[in-house]
Amino acid sequence: MSGNPESAQLRRGTLASVALLVVFLAAWEWGPGCLGIPPYIVPPMSAVAKEAVRMWNVSGLAMHTGVTAAEVLIGFLLGSLLGAFFGYILGMSPTAEVALSPYILALQIAPKVAFAPLFVLWMGFTIYPKILVAILIVFFPVLINVLTAVRNVDPDLINLARAFKASRAQIFWKIEFPASLPPLFAGLRIGSTLAVVGVVVGELVGGNLGLGYLLAFGEGQANTPMVFVAILMLTLVGGVAYLLVILAERRVLHYMPKNALSGF
């Protein structure tokens, strides 16, 4: 009796992923020494793990990780809400799109890193500059995905709804909003990882808390293991944010085929 092909494929993929992880960790631990790379360039995994324990006990690694995670969450939520709001507005109103698109495009073209020092000058060494940079970075991909989805809704469906005397609000909630959900979640996936980038940029420019601060501090101390620990924790924060979006997507879009809701 043959098993479920999807389950078998999932098991094979999981085993392959675990095997790759083991190979990567082994290469990280012994590879630099075999290649003659000094530990201050690429420290072995054991040195990074030892530094992580030290930072957890002495340097407040848990507290700094929590600060960065909170900034990422707030920046991601606000940036996503603003991006979705303006995406729906521009998608439903060609007049609004013509009026606002040049300014939104100019905001997107301007490098976000350049805004971080300005926000620090305005608001000091608080969490607000980091959150604002994250909002700016998350905003545009969500907006573009929602705008494109609303623009690509089948016009025949809208005309049919109008023929049945549907109001503008009914057309939005019954047709345009459901059709935009898959692209919206695709934008949220991108935004969940970009939010980490925005927060780190803000923390590197001006901050005394967060993983970005530890990253800059480790660089100033020439402590390569500390830099690696900060990078790994940032990766963990971004991974958790991405996973939460995936879980929300699968719950909201439960009616879609599973292969359409893959992790990538």
- List, for residues 4-16, the tens digit of each pLDDT value: 666 777 788 788 8
Q: What is the pLDDT of residue 1?
A: 45
CB proximity list for 229: less than 8 A, separation 6 or greater = 48, 51, 52, 55, 61, 214, 218
Cα(89)–Cα(13) distance, integer angstroms: 41
Task: Give mean pLDDT, residues 64-74.
Answer: 93
Q: What is the pLDDT of residue 122?
A: 86
Of these ranges, 34-48, 104-118, 234-248, the one predicted with the greatest mean pLDDT is 234-248
∠ CA 93-192-201, rounded to 5°: 105
Give me the amino acid identity at 173: W
- The residue with greater pLDDT, 190 or 164, is 190
Element holding 50 (H helix, E strand): helix 45-54
Note the pLDDT tens digit of each residue in 168-192: 888 888 888 888 899 999 999 999 9
pTM over 0.75: yes
